[in-house]
Amino acid sequence: MAFEFTDTNFQETALDQGGLSVVDFWAEWCGPCRLVGPIVEELAQEYDGKALIGKVNVDNHPEVSMKYNIRSIPTILFIKDGEVVDKHVGTATKQALTEKIDSYLS
């Protein structure tokens, strides 16, 4: 299951831990988010122990969303060692996300 990032745990889990974090910004009412959601869940299982993959509900956790200037959802941030190294806005295929994750893990 994908990790649930929140306003209170984001700094500690996504930024301070080091390594790669993949963060999906989404909302319940967002149709494209519902398309990406299952892919994020699969990736979280497949990369368990290699990368922290999770989600931020923008309605429930607005502080993180504002900090990273999230204007459109779904938006996926790739954070390596505390720094945003890539950003994908809109829907994405599993293959496209896998390729990006693999490139940041190598």
Provide the CA 82 distance to its chain's centre, in angstroms.
Answer: 13
16 has catalytic annotation: no
SS3 11: helix
Q: Where are the alpha helices (DSSP H) in the chain?
A: 10, 31-46, 62-67, 94-105
33 has catalytic annotation: yes
Residue 73 φ/ψ region, left for φ over 0, alpha for ψ in the -120 to 50 degree band, beta for the rest:
beta
User: Active-site residue among 20, 33, 56, 77?
Assistant: 33
Q: How many Cβ atoms sit within 10 Å of the Cβ of residue 101?
A: 20
User: Active-site residue among 15, 27, 30, 89?
Assistant: 30
Q: Indicate which residues carry an active-site annotation.
A: 30, 33
